[in-house]
Amino acid sequence: MGLTRRPPLALGVALAALGVAATTLVLYALRDVAPVVSLGVVYLVVVLAVASAWGVWLGLGTALASALAFNFFHIPPTGRLAITGGENWVALAVFFAAAVLASSLTELARRRTVEAEQRRQEADLSAEMARLLLRGGRLEETLPAVGERLARAFGTRSASIVAQAVDGTFPLREGPRQIGTLTVDAPEPVLRRIQTRIVPALEALLAAALERDALMADAVETAALRRSDVIKTALLRSVSHDLRSPLTAILTSAEALRVSAEERVELAEGITEEATRLSRLIDNLLDLSRLEAGAAEARPAWSSIEEVLSAAAAQVPDGQFKLALDDDLPPVRADAAQLERAFANLFENAHRYSGGHPISVRARDVGGRILIRVVDRGPGIPKAHQERIFEPFYRSGSRGSGLGLAIVRGFVEANGGRVWVESLPDQATSFVVELPVPQTLPT
């Protein structure tokens, strides 16, 4: 995953030398503005730039070169590497210490950024593998696609997966039993990352997929019930990285609360935001597991569409919604709680891609059916993706968990309705929900 690749070292050395030389010249122009001993901080700009792109060692080398240039050209006596006066010694020592500290902190920040990006990419890969392995296709046809996706994610020459115990790079096990083999042609550091971060998730998903195939071959009712339990367990395993991401942010922010009181407000807001995100993800997992198991039976009652839409919009506090509802909308016979969950997920999805623009929500009665149209001003959805965006774990972009729209379709259909999307690339996207209106209305 390419974020760990640095630019060529020779380029870094050249830019460091050029930056130190340019800064040395600039200091001559600044001598009339500030005392010479205080101008060394200007070199820190070059040190930070080099350290952020090429790492701490080149940053330290740049700091040393800056200190020598500062001494030779600007600290009396100039023209030679010598220092007179305690003030000049202190200035040079403080500059070098600051440069070393700045380089180290820049490298630490870069490493954390790289690690966070790698974690996000690994979570995306795990979700994609879950979608491929658990969507119901034949395992012999699915495993090559999973291997190709893994090879593309890590930039390896090749990767293949077979559901057999053969010679390969990594045996895939379920307990003591080998259920498959992963073969990867990659350097040793990449192999270590795959072994520690991808193989455990792949083992769980492959075990679930094999168990699913066995259950599908058994037509007995008890076997079908067992299949439902296995798939629900696999769903939870497959999004483990998505669950860990907000938890990591919460724990990091909680540790950082030991800082000053002024910074605690921002950290507390981060904890609240990530905890809310985690709560929504867990709710979606539970909803989807009930839908997959056929346990999300609707409890119909007379419900007001206006109240359902208003309650759903309130669950997305950051979104801007323009509700336009006909005055004479009839009530519907449906499970209001399920419809509210469906529209809340639909509104959250629209808000995520709206680019900060208001979202239009229109509802009208059309010949014995109610049409609710949710329109955002996002980038649009390509035609090739429109048939699949309602599948669990499928994501046309890099955002979201791939659960929301699957829940929307499940709850709408459980209440006798249907949902579809109308969109063109680079244009607004409309999600349309159609709900039936009973011929007999309450009096």
Which amino acid type is present at position 26? V
The DSSP secondary structure of 40-99, one letter per residue, reads GGGHHHHHHHHHHHH-HHHHHHHHHHHHHHHHHHTSSSTTSS---SHHHHHHHHHHHHHH
Residue with tokens 């056929």: 294
0.85 exceeded by pTM: no
Report the distance separating Cα 421 and Cα 382, nearest Å. 11
pLDDT of residue 214: 75
Sheet bearing 177-185, strands edge to edge: 158-162, 177-185, 170-174
CATH number, span 301-436: 3.30.565.10
Instruction: Compute CA 54 distance to the chain's CA centroid, rounded to the nearest angstrom.
Output: 26
User: What would the two tokens of residue 381 be?
Assistant: 């959805």
Handedness of CA 126, 386, 324, 368 (dihedral sign): negative
Q: Which CATH number fits domain 124-292: 3.40.1350, 3.30.2450, 1.10.3470, 3.30.450?
A: 3.30.450
The answer for residues whose C-beta is within 8 angstroms of residue 397's C-beta and 6 or more apart is 353
Q: Is 230 helix (H, G, I), strand (E, B) or coil?
A: helix
Pairing of strands 321-325, 359-365: parallel
Running along the chain, 443 residues long, what does each successive block of 10 average in pLDDT? 64 86 85 74 79 76 80 77 60 65 72 75 78 75 82 80 82 85 84 82 82 66 55 54 64 63 69 71 73 75 92 87 89 91 90 85 90 88 80 65 81 91 82 87 63
pLDDT of residue 170: 87
Q: Write down how long the chain is.
A: 443
Report the interhelical angle of 86-134 vs 221-238 (nearest 10°).
Answer: 160
Report the distance separating Cα 355 and Cα 369, nearest Å. 31
Q: String of b and e for 72-106 (b: at least 16 CB within 10 Å)?
A: eebbeeeeeeebeeeebeebbeebbebbbebbeeb
- CA distances from residue 22 to 11, 29, 41, 363 in whole angstroms, order as listed: 16, 11, 14, 64
End-to-end CA distance of the chain: 63
pLDDT of residue 175: 82
User: What would the two tokens of residue 240 be?
Assistant: 């483990």
Phi-psi region of 393 (alpha: psi -120 to 50; beta: other; left: phi over 0): left
Give the residue range(s) of CATH 3.30.565.10 domains in the chain.
301-436
User: What would the two tokens of residue 425 be?
Assistant: 């690339």
Give the residue range(s) of CATH 3.30.450 domains in the chain.
124-292
The DSSP secondary structure of 249-308, one letter per residue, reads HHHHHHHHTTS-HHHHHHHHHHHHHHHHHHHHHHHHHHHHHHHHTT------EEE-HHHH
pLDDT of residue 374: 93
pLDDT of residue 3: 44
Residue 396 is classified by DSSP as S
User: What would the two tokens of residue 396 be?
Assistant: 């046309």
pLDDT of residue 96: 66
pLDDT of residue 280: 72
Report the distance separating Cα 16 and Cα 50, nearest Å. 6
pLDDT of residue 219: 45
The answer for residues whose C-beta is within 8 angstroms of residue 296's C-beta and 6 or more apart is 287, 290, 338, 410, 411, 414
Is 62:19 a contact under the CB 8 Å cutoff? yes
pLDDT of residue 339: 93
